[in-house]
Amino acid sequence: MLFYFLCPPCFSKTYLGIVLALLVIIINFNTFFGRFRWLTHITRILVGGLFIFSGFIKANDPIGFSIKLEEYFQVFGEGFSCDMKIEGESQANIPCVKEEKAAQAVKPSESVLKPMYDFFAKHSLFLAIFICGFEIVLGIFLLLGIQVRWTLLLLLAMIVFFSFLTFYSACCNKVTSCGCFGDAIKLTPWESFWKDLILLILISILFVGEQNIQPLFRNRIVLYGVAAIGLFASFAFPVYTWRHLPIIDFRPYKIGTNLWEASQFKDPAKTGCVKDSVAMIFYYKHAKNH
């Protein structure tokens, strides 16, 4: 109830009430939902697969993900400020309009934790590789059924943290792209926040059906052998793409892209930007009025 009454005006209380109601129903009727093994198995595949996919996309370009992390650390280091966008306002996600308003806004005082955020920003590449690999490992462990309770707790901790991060970015108009799926699938902060809420509900279903999550292989040697291979590959892959190039290039200016066409603003209504133009005005000294 506290979350409902503290809901800021940038988010609908109706939607928040629906999400909270679903969570309360799942938690209070845990015995009922725990009976449906098929529901647990489907949810297990969806959550595990999504975490592996999300981690793989970011691990494909760890340098790009590290740049996104630097952007978050810079925002946190600048101190708390909230340019709240009320639901229904126009021009909420227009890049050029946002940049123009940001230039006119008064900057808040720096955070007392700025040295810590600067340290994280300096080591953002290491953090990017670790987060990508850790995300993939959690997805693999969930699908394999290894250390189920710890895996679910870590998944819950990650999704709660990401939910706060995306909500702050969306409500206070901070980081316009979350970087959850790299350059492959670009989500707005609100889209990413809704994705996190759906994952929160799915992870709650996994908690109530935890007894239905059994190891994928009965042979422990095979089970832990596959887990060890997955653990090694999860961290070796982002290291490889960091030292070389992304295996699949989702970047806007990848090899073979026409730079002139890619650099043009296709839809000024969405970007708020217009093409450069030159206006020449001539003043004649001896001009005569007729």
Residue 162 CA to residue 69 CA, distance in Å, equals 12
3-state secondary structure of 99: helix
**Residues with Cβ within 8 Å of residue 213, at least 6 apart in sequence:** 40, 44, 142, 145, 148, 206
Q: What tokens does 52 get? A: 């592996």
Winning range, highest mean pLDDT, from 96-100, 138-142, 279-283: 138-142
Segment 130-151 shows an average pLDDT of: 92
**Residues with Cβ within 8 Å of residue 64, at least 6 apart in sequence:** 179, 182, 183, 251
CA 35 to chain centre: 33
pLDDT category, 20, cuts 50, 70, 90?
A: confident
Contact by Cβ (8 Å): 162, 191: no
Low-confidence winner among 26-40, 103-117, 186-200, 232-246 (lowest mean pLDDT): 103-117
How high is the pLDDT of residue 122? 87
Largest Cα–Cα distance in the chain?
A: 100
Q: What are phi and psi of 181, to 5 degrees?
A: -120, 30
Residue 155 CA to residue 104 CA, distance in Å, equals 40
| Mean pLDDT score across all residues of the chain | 78
How high is the pLDDT of residue 270? 52
pLDDT category, 9, cuts 50, 70, 90?
A: low
How high is the pLDDT of residue 15? 75
Residue 255 CA to residue 200 CA, distance in Å, equals 38
pTM of the full structure: 0.75
Q: Does residue 228 surpass a pLDDT of 90?
A: yes
How high is the pLDDT of residue 257? 72
Residue 36 CA to residue 107 CA, distance in Å, equals 52
**Residues with Cβ within 8 Å of residue 90, at least 6 apart in sequence:** none
pLDDT category, 238, cuts 50, 70, 90?
A: very high
Q: Does residue 221 surpass a pLDDT of 80?
A: yes
Segment 29-54 shows an average pLDDT of: 87
How high is the pLDDT of residue 91? 45
How high is the pLDDT of residue 88? 46
How high is the pLDDT of residue 141? 94
**Could you give the C-alpha distances from 96 to 81, 201, 204, 266, 273, in angstroms and in order?**
20, 35, 39, 14, 6
**Residues with Cβ within 8 Å of residue 127, at least 6 apart in sequence:** 66, 69, 120
Contact by Cβ (8 Å): 172, 124: no
Contact by Cβ (8 Å): 128, 118: no
